[in-house]
Amino acid sequence: MSLSNVKGLRGEVTIPGDKSISHRAVMFGSIANGTTEVTNFLQGADCLSTIDCFRRLGIEIEIIPDTNAAVKNESLKEASSKQTTESRKPAEKILIHGKGLHGLKAPSSILNAGNSGTTTRLISGILAAQPFETTLTGDASIQKRPMKRIMEPLSMMGADIKSLNGNGCAPLEIKGRPLKGIDYFSKVASAQVKSAILLAGLYAEGETRVTEPVISRNHSEIMLRYFGADVHTEGKTAIIKPAADLYAQSINVPGDISSAAYFIAAGLIVPNSEILIKNVGVNPTRDGIIKTAIAMGGDITLLNQNFDGEPTADILVRSSSLHGITIEGDIIPTLIDELPVINIMAAAASGTTVIKDAAELKVKESDRIAVMVENLSKMGADIMGTDDGMIIKGGKSLHGAIIDSYEDHRIAMSFAVASLIADGETTINGRDCVNISYPSFYEDLDRLCSF
Ligand code: S3P
């Protein structure tokens, strides 16, 4: 599609499955007894990396093609270019033939998590308890992301885990050991850290407790309980007891609110738009984008609210005049991945938007403070980076530019949205990185623009 000014967005979009939930379904299914069936699994590159890791750990995972669907688009094929032909076709379902908590086998090669922080950190919690040694690595971005945050608590539990380059990043060498439960206070609100510790806690002697400064997404707690684990929360503390067994389940993954966010933003900022975004996960630990968009003056209605393990809804979005707000504190973990596209909304809004308490943006797939400031400035916006966020003075008219995605999927999709209100053409270098979380993103956006 051409990335330029459009007259409006109209129609319905059903976005792909939630990335966080898809990862967890594969991981928990692998260490459960029996066959876990997953529908609406996200076939993005990150989740395919998780499948690849667990296959190398001896788990049989079948990707059953959807015989009714034609190959959806070329992007989906590319997303899985590293994978086998079967995983390139849209799946009807994924079958994970779990071997139980103690059924993983030592891999014959290094595990590669690709670009995926969730794969790297969560699998480390499982590997820390296995009676074998593993080396775990990922792409250039993963090899720069901080892993001390999981190495420290897992070591306290008894694991032998080291950063092979001595810089606190992957590649990691993990020698599994018998673990003991800990009572851990995490400095960061991170579901990846919390989940790594809870997964290690499944194997530990005694109870494991993780307290966070602010509650992060709780998909692990919900799904582990569903698989039969004894896990509960007390305020900001998640508590797990060692498990004798987990049991296979059927999981229907809701649409990813982080992917829906691009359509929420586009529908609000492009005049003459009305979009229905169907079957989106609206877990309160993830719904900060909706609350923020409404606080900025967005016309958003939730329809067909439902609950099947996780809450879901259809989201109706109409063009709105947005105004700037301050976004800080407890809401930040609930919209951390949406802050790049919230920057675009802020640039289109009147007044000033201040984002604070979001230093975590610097250690995502790219340094999202620096990268947003660089690219939005190129388009003519008034944006300034701070130590823990950014300040955007909205209302400046945007113009097309050459954007560097830094191979960060959320940056590429955010600037595709910005291009819709910019004068002239926008080019996004590395635009195919959307395959990480949303292979058919450009096709879905294009369809809404050409009503
Ligand atoms: C994720 C948690 C978040 C989020 C990431 C996915 C998860 O990271 O940014 O995209 O699936 O647990 P942190 O937990 O490190 O903040």
CA of 67 to the centre of ligand 1 (A): 33
Of all protein residues, the one whose alpha carbon is nearest to atom 11 of ligand 1 is: 20
Tens of pLDDT along 402-426?
999 999 999 999 999 999 999 999 9
State yes or no: pLDDT of 237 exceeds 90.
Answer: yes
Number of domains within the chain:
2
Together in a domain, 11 and 45: no
CA of 191 to the centre of ligand 1 (A): 6
State residue 5's pLDDT score. Answer: 86
State yes or no: pLDDT of 451 exceeds 80.
Answer: no
Together in a domain, 283 and 342: yes
Together in a domain, 236 and 382: no
Together in a domain, 400 and 416: yes
Across the range 167-186, mean pLDDT stands at 98
Across the range 16-41, mean pLDDT stands at 98
pLDDT band at 173 (very low <50, low <70, confident <90, very high): very high
pTM, two decimal places: 0.96
Report CA-CA distances (Å) from 439 to 46, 72, 413: 11, 10, 11
pLDDT band at 87 (very low <50, low <70, confident <90, very high): low
Of all protein residues, the one whose alpha carbon is nearest to atom 16 of ligand 1 is: 190
CA of 216 to the centre of ligand 1 (A): 8
State yes or no: pLDDT of 82 exceeds 80.
Answer: no
Together in a domain, 238 and 97: yes
Q: Above pLDDT 70, what percent of the chain?
A: 95
State residue 69's pLDDT score. Answer: 76
| Catalytic residue selected from 46, 287, 314, 337 | 337
Together in a domain, 221 and 282: no
State residue 15's pLDDT score. Answer: 95
Domain limits for position 353? 2-16+254-449
**Is residue 287 flagged as an active site residue?**
no
State yes or no: pLDDT of 81 exceeds 50.
Answer: no
Specify the CATH number for the domain of residue 422.
Answer: 3.65.10.10
State residue 259's pLDDT score. Answer: 98
Across the range 189-202, mean pLDDT stands at 98
State yes or no: pLDDT of 77 exceeds 60.
Answer: no
Together in a domain, 264 and 308: yes
Together in a domain, 321 and 245: no
Q: Which among 47, 116, 336 is the best mutation to test ligand 1's pocket, defined by most ligand atoms within 8 Å of the CB?
A: 336
Among the atoms of ligand 1, which is closest to the Cα of residue 23?
11
Ligand 1 near 118 CB (within 6 A): yes
At which of 219, 251, 283 does a domain end? 251
State yes or no: pLDDT of 448 exceeds 90.
Answer: yes
